[in-house]
Amino acid sequence: MNEELYRLTGHEIRDAIRTGDSTAEGVIRSYLERIGQVEGRVRAYVDVWGNYALEQAQGIDARLKNGDDIGPLAGVPVALKDVLCTKEGYTTCCSKIIEKYRSPFDATVVERMLASGAIFLGKVNMDEFAMGSSTENSAVQITRNPWNLECVPGGSSGGSAAAVASDECALSLGSDTGGSIRQPAALCGCVGMKPTYGRVSRYGLVAFASSLDQIGPLTKDVEDMALILNVICGKDPMDSTSADVPVPDFTEALDAEVSKLTVGLPKEYFTEALNAEMREKVEAAAAVLEAQGARVIEVSLPHTEYAVAAYYIICMAEASANLARFDGVRYGYRFPHARDVQEMYRSSKSEGFGPEVQRRIMLGTYVLSSGYYDAYYLKAQKVRSLIRQDFQAAFEQCDVILTPTSPAPAFKIGEKTAEPLEMYLSDIYTNSANLAGIPGLSIPCGLTAGGLPAGLQVLGKPFDEATVLRVAYTYEQHRDLDLGHPQLS
Amino acid sequence: MGKITKEDVEYVAGLAQLSLDDAAKGRLVQELGAILGYMEKLNEVDTSDVEPVMHVLEMTNVYRDDEVRESLDRETALMNAPKSDGEYFLVPRILDTE
């Protein structure tokens, strides 16, 4: 039997199980062994569900033997960001305030993945309540970038990205409020996608900023991305903001044909703020698509420089409202010595939330408070309109927009923790897609001289994930690039 | 919109139901000042004729039939309670009894 099953993609694992080259149990054992070998250095997982995963795998193997339908992701090992509610294990958001929380229900995406035959290996690390760009805000542990253990994996879905990059799972789910899937995918050399706002049900995703949050996958290739989107997209009665828009078969987009497409490069993204190596790699990626017949043009997104400020005002305002529920009454940490209910609220929150979460609650409360609402929150929502209009205008000239995902490769652990604003600015290329609600995908476009992955971002029109996937797939098939694997053993 | 003072931090902490020690207050005076200062960049943009975003993608009211459906049983609803008597969530006294 293949000893390196853990190197396979999700669709390769699916095929190996269906053809009998391997069993689901064999696959899971290979991954658990891999986790045993490298997890001590990477620390992507906050909880590994070894026995649970083996039982699930035996169930898949038995069903396959019976000739039952086993689902499109049968036997594929998946890691879940710990912001997704699962009946199995705990759901902690990597926060002290709900470190012992057990969800009485599964998130809709979790149900859909289970129904497709996917096998969960466990929960992975994240910035507390998905607030951060490096996973250093986790109350549990620091996750390391598999390509360089002194660097961050990005965030907030840093555990999801590191687990895929280190072959500790075949694919993972994360959440993206301002880049939290795409940026770690870029920094760890995986494919990561935030679908259109409303494309995937948010039922069972612990809310951070409800008008921006979206669940999405991190994978080893674009084909896996299409397969999972087929499983998780679509209207859900449990989330009234999920969009009632038909879901195409995304695998039909896996056709390396872009000769009728126009690709836009936004001039505002290619400034001095962009690392020279990253710029060169994104331009080379555009040239790959051009060689395949795509027309490449310059477009303009004039309000780009205001995206970070508008984004942080809005996400903090929404966070301050969403996190008010953690008050120590129905679940979560309660300060044990409170003399009255007010002290219970205040002390439970102050002891339970970490510094970045408290900072965002404070800022969000401030921008919503009487006298400041118009100046900050309303202003930000107006600028958001302009940013959305920028994209609408650009998409009249092109089908997709190409940008770098991150202005620079992975930074060192500890490098940006002292300056919150510096950390916020690492999201400059990803925030806009959440403000505009559009889909965005990050795909590796090379390694820097320092051996760190660089990410190419493909942005598309609302609900046009198919074209984004087509462009990413074409690039993947024609790029002259082999990232290889991080040297972990 | 000006500098953030210690009084501002204390006022907002009260609204947010956070209790902060002096070190945290001092740190937040600096951090909130710097971050809000950066956000004032938005004042460069003329938004006098711009409508704010309410829903990022077109969205209308979503209705469903008003039917009774299964919900959590009491035991499950209380399973994460920090304190309960098996029937209700218990909290410290809310009304003043003195």
Which residue of B20, B38, B91 is the best one to mutate when testing the A interface, meaning the one whose CB has the most A CBs within 10 A? B91
Instruction: Give per-residue pLDDT as tens, B6-31.
Output: 999 999 999 999 999 999 999 999 99
Q: Is residue A203 part of a domain?
A: yes
Tell me the CA distances in angstroms from A196 to A191, A211, A351, B56, one per residue in order: 16, 12, 36, 10
Quick one: pLDDT at residue A3? 64
Q: Is A342 near chain B, with CB under 8 Å?
A: yes
Mark which residues 193-232 of A lie under 8 Å from B by CB: 196-198, 211
Quote ipTM for the complex: 0.94
Domain count, chain A: 1
Q: Where residue B63 falls among pLDDT bands split at 50, 70, 90? A: confident
Q: What is residue B2's predicted lDDT score, i.e. its pLDDT?
A: 57
Q: What is the pLDDT of residue B98?
A: 57
Contact call for A344 and B92, based on CB within 8 A:
yes
Residue A411 falls inside a structural domain: yes
If pLDDT is split at 50, 70 and 90, which confidence band does B59 have?
confident
Name the catalytic one among A133, A138, A180, A442: A180
A102 within a domain of the structure (yes/no): yes
CB contact under 8 A, B52 and A102: no
The predicted pLDDT at position A489 comes to: 64
Judged on CB neighbours under 10 Å (0-12, 13-18, 19+), A264 is: buried
Question: In this predicted structure, what is the pLDDT of residue A1?
Answer: 45
CA angle A244, A250, A254 (to 5 degrees): 160
**What is the average per-residue pLDDT within B36-48?**
96
End-to-end CA distance of chain B: 42
Given this structure, which CATH class describes domain B6-44? mainly alpha
A180 is catalytic: yes
Residue A243 within a domain:
yes
Long-range contacts, A101-105 (Cβ 8 Å, 24+): A101/A331, A101/A332, A101/B80, A102/B79, A102/B80, A103/A204, A104/B72, A104/B76, A104/B77, A104/B79, A105/A204
> How many C-beta atoms lie closer than 10 Å to residue B63's C-beta?
7
Instruction: Report the pLDDT value the prediction gives residue A147, as an integer from 0 to 100.
Output: 98
Residue ranges per domain, chain B?
Answer: 6-44
Per-position pLDDT tens, chain A of length 489: 446 899 999 999 999 999 999 999 999 999 999 999 999 999 999 999 999 999 999 999 999 999 998 999 999 999 999 999 999 999 999 999 999 999 999 999 999 999 999 999 999 999 999 999 999 999 999 999 999 999 999 999 999 999 999 999 999 999 999 999 999 999 999 999 999 999 999 999 999 999 999 999 999 999 999 999 999 999 999 999 999 999 999 999 999 899 999 999 999 999 888 989 999 999 999 999 999 999 999 999 999 999 999 999 999 999 999 999 999 999 999 999 999 999 999 999 999 999 999 999 999 999 999 999 999 999 999 999 999 999 999 999 999 999 999 999 999 999 999 989 989 998 999 999 999 999 999 999 999 999 999 999 999 999 999 999 999 999 999 998 889 999 986
Chain B: residue nearest A317 by CA? B16
Contact B64/A at CB under 8 A = yes
Contacting residues of B for A313, CB less than 8 Å apart: 39, 42
Domain of residue A263 covers: 5-303+389-478
pTM above 0.95, yes or no: yes
Interface A-B, measured as beta-carbon pairs within 8 A, has a size of 155
A368 within domain boundaries? no
A276: domain CATH number?
A: 3.90.1300.10
Whether A482 contacts A32, CB under 8 Å = no
